[in-house]
Amino acid sequence: MRAIVHVIRRDLHLALRQGADSLMVLGFFVLAVVLFPFGIGPEPHVLERISAGVVWVMALLAALLSLDRLFQGDYEDGTLDLLALAPVPLTWIILGKVAAHWLTTGLPLLAVAPLLAMLLQMKGEGMVSLMAAMALGTPVLSLIGAVGAALVLGARRGGVLLSLLVLPLYIPVLVFGVAAVEAAGMGLDGGGSLLILGALLCAAVPLCPLATAAALRQALA
């Protein structure tokens, strides 16, 4: 646990020094969602109908923007080699880096999402489900994204490959995240979708760091 905390503190410190990256992700999320009322029109019923899908898709794409910096900087300056040789399991180090990534990307997206949902005329019931679904879903996006970032590490045009690898794996999170919000908006019980998101998170926490560690060792070999 001390190793995880140390990695989180280190990555948060680096993120604060390079604050433009986090601001770019948040700015893309806000601007992309704000553009939809201009393109579709101000009709409240139309905006409310598409609000859950718009917020979730834009959050997914915004999280994807920041994945290339998850391991690339440490790979280029040799820090990743030292972390792999440290007397701490590499999976714990990866968990710390994923947690720092979520704190600098997923948490800001989660904080801004209610304001953007209000802009898209989302009702209060749907907004509560949106917050719960994003709290469960955005960590899964970071965990799955870490696997993709490790697989394309050192590859040419890694950003394009990363998108092709990760986007299909994001589909279950997107489907059940939107389903939970839409069910709450229609007065139905969206707990089943939230439970599935929780199950995805419980499965991703142990499995994704193992897959990421294997990919990183292959990249460093």
> What is the DSSP track for 186-197?
TTS--HHHHHHH
Nearest 10 degrees: Cα torsion 104, 47, 167, 193: 90
End-to-end CA distance of the chain: 27
- The reported pLDDT for the residue numbered 180 is 92
pLDDT mean over 46-68: 89
3-state secondary structure of 66: coil
Neighbours of 104 (CB within 10 A): 23
> CB of 92 within 8 A of CB of 3?
yes
Report the alpha-carbon distance of residue 122 to residue 50 in Å, rounded: 9
> CB of 68 within 8 A of CB of 149?
yes
On the question of pLDDT at 19 being above 70, the answer is no
In this prediction, residue 212 has a pLDDT band, given cuts at 50, 70 and 90, of very high
User: In one letter, which amino acid is 95?
Assistant: L
- The reported pLDDT for the residue numbered 1 is 72
Prediction pTM value: 0.90
As given in the structure block, the two tokens for residue 168 are: 């299909």
Report the alpha-carbon distance of residue 155 to residue 4 in Å, rounded: 27
